[in-house]
């Protein structure tokens, strides 16, 4: 079973989608072992506690340097034996040391169809404001692996969502979450857990050759 750590900053609606998927058996090869918040008042911590998932708070403001923050975050991840890190509305940028330690094992969901409306400065409502200002008719969400470039890692899954004529940034944000983000992130988490489990278990690798072929592409 792959140990999953989920990083959060806010209300935790995306975390809830992961918890619900886990409870429904949709993440067959993984288990959420810790939820780490960047803010002590994040409601996501209460969602985790309601499911008896251990929690921790690692706030960047509590550390003098980004490097010290990274060390503290790594300590929490390693303490729970995390093998996969899932960003579910985590608003702090991960440092190079964390990314290197979990290379190809960090997932993020972004509320647009990358490469549109992504990168530095595009987060939260800002993404949907930009989409509406540009006049796109279709937007969506993307789950991608995390690397040193903001929103620049390999795409895992995407789903398109229609923009309605009367949309505001708030209504568009909610539709993208409901129709795409909350669906894609649990699916991608399950996919990566399967890949990690196969890497750990040679028998599974032999039984699933198609998975190996997919990863080589």
pLDDT of 116-151, one tens digit each? Answer: 999 999 999 999 999 999 999 999 999 999 999 999
Cis peptide before 115 (omega within 30 of 0): yes
Q: Which residues are catalytic?
A: 110
DSSP-derived letter for residue 177 is I
pLDDT of 73-98, one tens digit each? Answer: 999 999 999 999 999 999 988 999 99
Is CATH 3.40.50.170 the classification given to domain 2-216?
A: yes
pLDDT of 41-65, one tens digit each? Answer: 999 999 999 999 999 999 999 999 9
- What is the per-residue pLDDT for 4? 98
Q: At what angle do helices 182-200 and 209-216 cross, to 10 degrees?
A: 110
pTM value is 0.92
- What is the per-residue pLDDT for 208? 65
- What is the per-residue pLDDT for 201? 81
pLDDT of 161-208, one tens digit each? Answer: 999 999 999 999 999 999 999 999 999 999 999 999 999 886 666 566
> Does pLDDT of 216 surpass 70?
no
Give backbone dihedrals phi and psi of 71, rounded to 5 degrees, phi first: -65, -40
Q: Which ranges in the chain belong to alpha helices (H)?
A: 13-23, 44-50, 66-79, 96-101, 125-134, 169-176, 182-200, 202-207, 209-216
Contacts of 107 (CB under 8 A, 6+ apart): 84, 85, 86, 87, 143, 144, 145, 146, 156, 185, 188, 189, 192
pLDDT of 61-70, one tens digit each? Answer: 999 999 999 9
């Amino acid at each position: 079973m792959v140990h999953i750590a989920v990083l959060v900053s806010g209300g935790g609606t995306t975390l809830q989608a992961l918890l619900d998927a886990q409870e429904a058996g949709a993440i067959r090869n993984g288990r959420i072992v810790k939820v780490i918040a960047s803010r002590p008042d994040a409601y996501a911590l209460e969602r985790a506690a309601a499911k008896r998932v251990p929690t921790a708070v690692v706030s960047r403001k509590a550390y003098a340097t980004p490097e010290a923050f990274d060390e503290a975050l790594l300590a929490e991840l390693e303490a729970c034996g995390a093998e996969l890190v899932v960003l579910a509305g985590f608003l702090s940028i991960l440092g190079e040391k964390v990314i290197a330690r979990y290379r190809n094992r960090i997932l993020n969901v972004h509320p647009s169809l990358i490469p549109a409306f992504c990168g530095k400065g595009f987060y939260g409502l800002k993404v949907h404001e930009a989409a509406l200002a540009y006049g796109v008719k279709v937007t969506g969400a993307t789950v991608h692996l995390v690397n040193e470039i903001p929103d620049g890692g390999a795409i895992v899954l995407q789903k398109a969502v229609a923009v309605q004529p009367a949309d505001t940034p708030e209504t568009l944000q909610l539709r993208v979450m409901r129709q795409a983000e909350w669906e894609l992130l649990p699916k991608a988490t399950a996919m990566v857990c399967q890949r990690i489990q196969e890497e750990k278990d040679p028998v599974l690798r032999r039984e699933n050759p198609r998975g190996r072929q997919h990863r080589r592409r």
